[in-house]
Chains A and B, each alone.
Chain A
Amino acid sequence: MSALPPAAAGSAAHTGGYVADPRIRWQEWLPWVLAVAAFFGAPDYLSLGARILIFILFALSLDLILGYAGIITLGHSAFFGVGAYVAGILGAKLGVTDPLVQLAAAAAAAGVLGVVTGAIILRTTGLTLLMLTLAITLVFLEIANKATSITGGADGLAGVVVAPVLGLFRFDLYGKTAYLYSLAVLFVGWWLVRRLIYSPFGASLTGIRENAVRMHAVGAPVYARMVAVYAISATLAGIAGALLTQTHQFVGLNVLGLEPSGELLIMLILGGVGRIYGAFVGPFVYLIAQDYLAKQFPEYWYFGIGLILVLVVLFARGGILGIVDAALARLRRPSA
């Protein structure tokens, strides 16, 4: 998983670092143009659209630690779930209904959790780390399951009240508000991640991923950097979780545990790890394929998803964006 394809300068990859040009290229505006076009072009699909946007933010947070810092995890749903439950409990039990306040609280809770758990588990590597991340999300799953008076347990937390965004835009049946709201939050998240990756901090993360011993040798505070990026990633995941709660006004146990973590990992690998936009392409393709296949073949659609995954793993190690890179490189070579 740490063997990432070395990206050629100027390709679709965003490896960050000092040498890279941090200016936003014209291609990078494409997803946003598409997203706005989808709002007007496919008004019946906005609830699916909002779900895709939320998972893009979630995948982006995973890309930050997996793709750039090389921290492997199966427990990223812990932060997503905590964010979802914090927003849900505020809205359903404590009467805090302002969406932005809920979002901030969820972000803070997930961030603090990221610092605390990161400080403990990032002392380990490899399989130990993987198991610890998994253990943490399972612990939270069990807490959510048992604390029925607060979380609703297996029945889920119903009746989450979310006030209109900024007091103006009510969450409607067609998902218009949900879509635009998620899009705005994702834009901020994207901007933040991008800034981070092109900063010296981002460069040090790539260094840690490629050779942690060497980073120690040059005097970089490896552990502190890892905890920091883990906490930032946790915060973003918590925000994504809160978005899911707010757009659905319901929280179920399925936001925690292995399944959402695994699914997220699949989406990211499908899109391409360690290149920002892999986190855009992966959830987009995965969720649309899932939606389409599940409608055509309600009983057998998992087979289709499995097939796509096998093909990607066999023939496109860099994910879908890896294929794009290879195609572009082939186009350029004869002319150069």
Chain B
Amino acid sequence: MQIKPAACLAALALAVCAGAASAQTIKIGVISTYSGPLAAQGDQLDKGFKLYLKLNGDKLPAGVKIEPIFRDDTGPNPDVAKRLAQELIVRDKVQFLVGTVWTPNAAAIAPLTKEAKVPFISANAAGVNIPYLSPYFARVSFTLWQSAYPLGQWAAKKYKRVYTAVSDFAPGHEAEEGFITGFKSGGGEIVGSVRIPLANPDFVPYMQRIKDAKPDALFAFNPAGKQATAMMKTYSDLGLAKDGIKYIGTGDITTDEELQGMGDVALGVITAHHYSAAAERPANKAFVAAYKKEYGENLFPGFMVVGAWDAMDAIFHAIREQKGKVDPDRTMALLRQYKNPNSPRGPIALDPDTRDIVQNEYLREVRRVGGALANVELETLATMIKDPFKELKGKK
């Protein structure tokens, strides 16, 4: 009998706590790659998410708290990613899903979000088709057509004959197709196209063939870092630069996080992309400074960090607009109208029809700025461009 009041009190306190927690804590499920050989990419996303949460975690309606739940999909493993998403939805009851480096993982999760009505925001996965898989999917990252297509159009004005050489995997194919479509629409001539196996360390035979074909420019796409460096090195060793063959590509070949390690071979490479750490916009300067302060003076944020940052910003926007009481359909309506004139990459918006990113594409050149290599922005190649693939071809 004596225990009863105390027990009542405890129960009451618990109930109050639980009530308070469920009303004001918003759970965000974050699925990224933390282990395995490809963890470096997931690390970029992770840094972006955590930096945003650290700097903006308090910019929410009073009493609203964010609880991120991090999960490791171990690489391009769609079945693992899907199971994690399923668990985050049914067990942890997250209100938002965000993440994935890899397209197959996002494509596996997307149908689930349709059934569960959980908004899912891609911070990186770039396959053109994903938005069609679920009305609760939105993307703040990019598509490869978005950079490759306008680069092709631009190249058609400067060069007559171009050779393309891409890594033989899905992003490489999309970059190749996007560039060629843009280049041909401007009247250019493709003198040759080659797809190089991902695990091929020797670029000499390919470069020799390209040299013999005497194009005006070489369009290249391969993963930044070792691959892209090796290809650029072979390009200069064999004297393609001296023959006047220009090296161009999407920004994926000179990402900001890998650029310092690539060295001087990257100098002079022309790329098109939506983000450069060297951009002069005030929002970007503040962003880069915050990144360096958090993670180290010699590190530069790459486009994935910005993708993660903007994904969090879109979620925060939806939470603020709904004053903390989030409803999936209302969230998606807000995301369709999402605009941010001050992202580190410049103005961005979401396309109300496809929920895909609309952003500027910049033409950049690798130069040495104050001792470090940088993707210096030369001009804005395309202003607020929608995914050209969807505009031109619709659905895959």
Contacts and interface: CB of A to CB of B under 8 A. Distances in A.
Interface of A: 44-45, 47-48, 51, 145, 148, 153-156, 158-159, 173-175, 244, 248-255, 294-295, 298-302
30 contacts: A44-B90, A44-B91, A47-B86, A47-B87, A51-B79, A51-B83, A154-B76, A155-B107, A155-B127, A155-B129, A156-B78, A156-B103, A156-B108, A158-B110, A158-B111, A158-B129, A250-B79, A250-B104, A252-B78, A252-B104, A254-B75, A254-B76, A254-B77, A254-B79, A255-B79, A295-B71, A298-B70, A298-B72, A299-B35, A301-B35
Nearest to B111: A249
B295 interface: no
Given A47-B83, A254-B77, A295-B71, A173 B108 contact: no
Given A252-B78, A254-B75, 20 more contacts: A51-B79, A148-B170, A154-B170, A155-B103, A155-B104, A156-B78, A158-B107, A158-B110, A173-B89, A248-B78, A248-B83, A249-B111, A250-B107, A252-B104, A252-B108, A253-B76, A295-B71, A298-B34, A299-B72, A300-B35
A158 B108 contact: yes
Nearest to A174: B90
B76 A252 contact: yes
Contact of B108 (A44, A248, A298): A248
B115 interface: yes
A159 B79 contact: no
A255 B79 CA distance: 9
Given A44-B91, A298-B35, A299-B39, A250 B78 contact: yes
- Name the prevailing secondary structure of the B interface residues: helix
A234 B36 CA distance: 28
> Which 10 residue pairs of A and B lie closest in terms of their CB atoms, listed nearest first?
A156-B104, A252-B78, A154-B170, A298-B34, A250-B108, A298-B72, A44-B91, A158-B107, A252-B104, A299-B34
Contacts, number: 98
Contacts of A153: 170
A237 B351 CA distance: 44
Nearest to B34: A298
B82 A154 contact: no
A174 B91 CA distance: 9
Of B82, B103, B104, most buried by chain A (CB within 10 Å of CB) is B104
Contact of A253 (B34, B90, B104): B104
A249 B114 CA distance: 13
A248 B35 contact: no
A155 B170 contact: yes
Contacts of A51: 79, 83
Interface string B110-130: 111001100000000001010
A248 B104 CA distance: 12
Interface residues of B, number: 36
B35 A159 contact: no
Nearest to B91: A44
B44 to A, nearest CB: 14
B107 A156 contact: yes
Interface in B76-110: 76-79, 82-83, 86-87, 89-91, 103-105, 107-108, 110
Contacts of B116: 173
B82 A248 contact: yes
Contacts of B39: 299
Contact of A244 (B79, B90, B133): B79
Contact of B79 (A248, A295, A302): A248
Contact of A154 (B71, B75, B104): B104
Contacts of A299: 34-35, 39, 72
Contacts of A252: 76-79, 104-105, 108
A155 B169 CA distance: 9
B115 A173 contact: yes
A300 B43 CA distance: 13
A213 B315 CA distance: 68
Nearest to A300: B35
B76 A250 contact: no
A255 B39 CA distance: 20
A297 B251 CA distance: 33
Nearest to B70: A298
A155 to B, nearest CB: 5
Nearest to A153: B170
Nearest to B396: A155
A46 B206 CA distance: 51
Contacts of A48: 83, 87
Contacts of A248: 78-79, 82-83, 108
A308 B295 CA distance: 33
B169 A154 contact: yes
Contacts of A254: 75-79
Contacts of B34: 298-299
A175 to B, nearest CB: 7
A277 to B, nearest CB: 25
Contacts of A298: 34-35, 70-72
A336 B129 CA distance: 69
Contacts of A295: 71
B108 A159 contact: no
A221 to B, nearest CB: 39
A48 B90 CA distance: 12
Interface string B53-82: 000000000000000001110111111001
Nearest to A54: B79
| Max chain A Cβ within 10 angstroms of own Cβ: one of B105, B108, B115 | B108
A51 B35 CA distance: 20
Contacts of A154: 76, 103-104, 169-170
B288 to A, nearest CB: 25
A255 B104 CA distance: 12
A289 to B, nearest CB: 14
Contacts of A253: 76, 104
